Structure 1
Amino acid sequence: MKVALKIGYEGTHFSGSQIQPDKRTVEGELLKALLEIGVITDTETADLSSSGRTDAGVHSVSQVVTFLTDNPRMALPRILNSKLPRDVWAWAYAEVSDDFDPRRHAVRRKYRYVLNADEHDISKMRDAAKLFIGEHNFSNFAKKDKNNPRSTVRKVEKLDIRSQGPVIKIDIVANAYLWNMIRKIVSALTLVGNGTRDIEWIGKMLDPDNYEEGIEPAPAYGLIFLEVQYDPEPEWMIDNYAIKHTNDFYTRESNRFLVISTILEQFVMQPEKGQDLD
C-alpha cells in the first residue's frame, strides 16, 4: 500500500530535504524513523518520494511524502513523531493509489519568503512583482544545472507582498519552480525595493533571449514551503494531537528566540569617539 504524509520541518540544521550520503537530511531522518517503527523494512523497496526538493536551510510546513508499506497503521503521525527529531514532524495521513506521484501530480505549490522590512520601498516591490505574473522564461532567475537541462519556462499564478511589523512577507504560487528561482526573484525584488535597480530591469531579466545577467539568491533561511495542492486532493486524516504538540513546542521556541533577538541587539555596538587601536 502507498501512504502519503504531510510533514513539516525547521530546515536550519538540514543539508536539504532530499537524502544525501553522509549528510543530515529530512528524508534521511524520516527513513530512519520508518525503519525503527517497522513501517518499512528497507529503504529501497519503500520507494520514498516527495512533492518537491528544498535546499539546505529551507523550511516547510506541508511537504508531502509517499512510500510503500505493508504496515500502514503504524505510519500514523503521532506514532512516527515519537521517533522523529524535534525539527521534523508529521501531521496528516492519507492512503493513496499506487500510481500517485506527489511531485508530478501537484497542480500548484505555495512558498513564502520573509525578510527584514528595513530600507525597502514596498510600493516599488509590489509594482515589480506584477511583472512576474504569468508564463515567463525564468532562465535569469535559476541556478544552471548542466547535468539536467530542461525548460526554464514557468507560470507564476500569484505573487503577493505585504508588510507585517518588522518584516515583509512575499507569497508566491506557481505550478512548478526552477532551482533557486524563488530566492532569486526575492533578490530582484529587494534590489528594486532598496533603489539599486529600477522596475524596467525586471522586464529585461524576464527576456533572457536578449538579456542575460546572473543574480545571487536571497538567503535560504527566509524561505518556507507552505502548501502543495492536488486535483483531486487525497483524503487527508488530520492528527490534531500532533498539530497541538508541535504548536506548543514552536510557540515556546518562538518566545525564546524573541528574547534572544532582544539580547543580541545589545551586542551591536556603536562606534565611540576616540583613537582606534591598530
Structure 2
Amino acid sequence: MRLRIDCSYDGGQFHGWARQPGLRTVQGELEHALATILRLPDDQALHVTVAGRTDTGVHALGQVCHVDVLPEILDSCIGHMPTNGIEALERRLKHVLPADIVIRSISSAPEGFDARFSALERTYVYRICDAGKAVDPRMRGFVLAIPQLLDVDAMNEAAALTVGLHDFGSFATPNPGGTTIREVKRARWTRIPDSSLVQETGDPAGYRVPALESGLVCFTIVADAFAHNMVRSLVNACVQVGNGKKNLDWFARKMAEPVREGSTGPIDARGLTLEHVAYPPDGELAARAQAIRAKRTLES
C-alpha cells in the first residue's frame, strides 16, 4: 500500500533532501527511521519519493512524500498499541526521528497518488532582513541579512517578468535528460509591515507582542515545479535589481536569453522554505502524474 507522509524540517544541518553516501540528508534520516521501525534488512530498504527535492540548507514547512509498504510489514509495528498500522507508524516515527524533522501526518494515499508527479504546484518563500537591521536570533537560521535597503517595487517589476511559461536556463540547471522550462503562476515581493499578534488591546500604552516576520522582505513564488537552484537564483537576481547593482533591462535579457553566467548564481540557502505543495482532486491524481512526466517544451 502507498502512504502519504506530510513533514517539516529545519534544513540547516542537512545536505539537502536526497540521500548521499556519508552525508546527513532528510531522505537518509527518514528511510533509516522507517527501516528501523519496520525491522527491514538493507536489501529491503524502503524508497521515499518526495514532492520537492530541497537543496542543502533549504527548509520545508509543507513537504510531501510517499512510500510503498506491504500491509503485513506495516502492521508489524503496531505491537501492543490499540490502533492501526498507519497510526502506529506515525507515533513511532515521531519518537525515532531527530528533532529537526517533524512528521505532520501519515495517511493512506488515494489511488494514483504520486508525491512528485501528481503535484499541481509548489509554493516557496524566501525571507530577507534588509537595511542592516538586526535579525531576530530566533529566526537567524531562516532569514538572510543584507546591509542594503531593498527597493521592493523594482524587485516586483523583475518578478513580474517570471510569471508564465518560460525557459529559466539563466537561473537553473536541468536534471540529466530534463529541461529548465517551468510555469510560474505567481511571484511577488512583500515588505511585511510591523504589526502585533494582537491588534486590539485594552491598554493602548501596554506592550504589544510583535509578529515574528515584522519588517522582513519576503518573496513568494508559486510554480508547477522548479528546476535545480531556480528559486535561489531568481531571488539573487531580484536582489541585485533591488539594491541597484543591476537594472530591469538586465533581468529582462536574462529571461529572454536562457544562458547561465556568474551574476545569476544562487543566493544563500538559509532564507528559503518550501511552504506548501498542492494536489488536484483524488480522481485527477493519476492523470496529472501521467501528464507531468512528459518532457516540457515552450510550445506545449
RMSD between aligned alpha carbons? 2.1
In structure 1, what is the equivalent of residue 171 of structure 2? Answer: 141
Kindly tell me: are residues 187 and 198 of structure 1, through their superposed partners in 2, closer, same or farther at Cα, counting changes over 3 Å?
A: same
Question: What residue in structure 2 maps to residue 188 of structure 1?
Answer: 237
Q: How much has 1:92 moved relative to structure 2?
A: 1.5
User: Which residue of the partner structure matches residue 123 of structure 1?
Assistant: 153
The aligned counterpart of 2:54 is 54
Q: Are 1:80 and 2:93 counterparts?
A: yes
Secondary structure at 1:141 match in 2: coil
Aligned twin of 1:226: 275
Per the TM alignment, residue 213 of structure 1 is displaced from its structure 2 partner at its CA by: 3.4
Of residues 48-57 and 98-107 in structure 1, the stretch that sits farther from structure 2 once superposed is 98-107
What does 1:249-268 correspond to in 2, within 5 Å?
Answer: none
Please state which structure has a larger fraction of its residues in helix.
Answer: 1
Structure 2 counterpart of 1:204: 253
2:142 is aligned to none
Question: Does the CA-based 8 Å contact 1:105-1:230 persist in structure 2?
Answer: yes
Distance in structure 2 (CA, Å) of the matches to 1:160 and 1:54: 21
The aligned residue for residue 105 of structure 1 is 118
Deviation at 1:48, TM superposition (A): 1.8
Moved more, 177-186 or 163-172: 163-172
Q: Distance in 2 between matches of 1:213 and 1:73?
A: 48
Residues in 1 aligned to 2:234 and 2:88: alpha-carbon distance in whole angstroms:
37
- 1:139-179 deviation per Cα after TM superposition (whole angstroms, max 9, x unaligned): 0011365xx04222111000121112342110000001111
| Higher mean displacement: 164-173 or 56-65 | 164-173
The answer on whether the counterparts of 2:34 and 2:46 sit within 8 Å (CA) in structure 1 is: no
CA contact (8 A) 2:173 2:180 kept: no
What is the deviation of 1:75?
A: 5.3
Paired amino acid for 2:32: K
* Per-residue deviation, 1:47: 3.1
2:124–2:273 CA contact under 8 A, matched in 1: yes
Question: How far, CA to CA, are the matches of 2:87 and 2:35 in structure 1?
Answer: 11
Alpha-carbon shift at residue 128 of structure 1 (Å): 1.5
Rate the CA distance shift 1:36–1:202 in 2: closer, same or farther, 3 A.
Answer: same
State the TM-score, normalized to the length of structure 2: 0.72
Tell me, what secondary structure is at the counterpart of 2:96?
coil
Cα shift at 1:36: 2.1
Q: How far is the alpha carbon of 1:74 from its aligned partner? A: 5.1
Aligned residue type for 1:140: S
Indicate the residue corresponding to 1:150 in structure 2: 178
Change beyond 3 A, Cα 1:40–1:50: farther
2:261 aligns with: 213
State the TM-score, normalizing by the size of structure 1. Answer: 0.77
SS where residue 52 of structure 1 aligns?
A: coil
Query: Contact 2:229/2:266 (CA < 8 Å) preserved in 1?
Result: yes
| Alignment length (residue pairs) | 231
Which residue matches 1:19?
19
SS at match of 1:12: helix
Of 170, 188, 199, the match for 2:219: 170
- Other structure's SS at 2:161 match: helix
* Range 211-220 or range 197-206, more displaced: 211-220
Matched-pair contact (CA < 8 Å) for 1:106–1:228:
yes
Greater mean deviation of Cα atoms: 9-18 or 120-129: 120-129
Distance 1:4-1:75 versus aligned 2 partners, 3 A rule: farther
Contact 2:86–2:106 (CA under 8 A) maintained in structure 1: no
**Counterpart position of 1:271:** none
* Letter in structure 2 aligned against 1:160: R
SS of equivalent to 1:139: coil
Q: Distance in 2 between matches of 1:54 and 1:75?
A: 28
Q: Give the counterpart letter for 2:7 in structure 1.
A: I
